[in-house]
Amino acid sequence: MTTGRQIAVTSIRGGSGKSTVAALLGTTYAHYRQDPVLLLEADPALGSLPLRLGVQSRRWTTSDVADIVKPDMSLLDVTGYLVQLPHNAWLLPASQGQIGVMLDSRAYERAVVALRRYFGVMVIDCETMPAEVARVALASAHARVLTAPATPEGITSTYAVLQWMQQLPRHVIASTVVVLTELTVHSGLDLDEAARPLTSTGASVQVLPYDRHLAAGGPVQTELLAHPTRKATARLASDVFHLSQKRY
C-alpha cells in the first residue's frame, strides 16, 4: 500500500450488526497485518463499538482529536490520545458515553485527514444512513460495508439504498459489500435468492452467520466464535481489503 486504506461500515437501521462487523474487521486486520490499525467511531449517538471491543474507559473523542493532531506529530504522540487494543490496534471513540456529543461532517473529515497517514488501515464505524457523517464517510472511503439484517424488510430497505448509490460515481457501489447478518438460528429465508437483487446493483453480498457468542452482546472474544463465523469474517476482511486497493 502507498496510503492507508479507509473502510467505512454503516447500515440503514440499528440492530443490524454494524458495530459488530466493524469490530470483527478491525480485530482481523490487527491480527494479520503488521502496520498499525485504527478503529474510528463516527457514531456519536452512544455507539456500541467500545463495548464490542471491551473498552472500559474513554478519554478523547473523534471531535477532540480533529483539532489536536498536527502534521509534525509522531505515531507515538498520536496514540497517546487513543485507546490501545491488542495486536497493534487503537480505538478512537465518538463520545465519552454521553448523549449529545457533536460530530459533524467537517470535524469527521478533519479527524480522518489528520490520522490517515499514521495507520495502514482505518475501519470507520459510521452512524446509520442517511445521516450526513455516514454519507461523507461512504463517499470518501476506499471500500464500504453496508450491514443489513437477513430479513425481507432488511433486504428491501438495503436494495433501496443501493439503488441510490448507483447514482453516485461507479467506484462507490463497485467497492461496496453488503453483509447480511443472521439474527436467528433458522431465519427460513433463502439468502441466495434474496441476494440476487442486491448483487444486480453492482455490489457484493456476503453472509455473517448466526453466532451464539455475538448474539449475547458484550465484548467480542474471537476464541469463542464458531468456526463458520471465523471463516466468514476472514473472507469478508480479505474481500473488502482487496476492493479498497482497486482502481476504477
- Convert the pLDDT of each residue in 150-199 to its tens digit: 999 999 999 999 998 898 888 899 999 999 999 888 777 888 998 999 99
For residue 151, give the C-alpha cell. 430479513
State the pairing for strand pair 37-42/121-126. Answer: parallel
| CB count in 10 Å sphere of residue 38 | 27
DSSP 3-state of 25: helix
> Tell me, what amino acid is at 65?
V
Residue recorded with cell 439503488: 163
Helix axes 105-115, 132-140, angle to 10 degrees: 30
pLDDT tens for 200-244 read: 999 999 999 999 999 998 999 999 999 999 999 999 999 999 999
Site of grid cell 471491543? 53
Residue 132 predicted with pLDDT over 70: yes
CA 243 to chain centre: 14
Spatial CB neighbours of 184, under 8 Å, sequence gap ≥ 6: 210
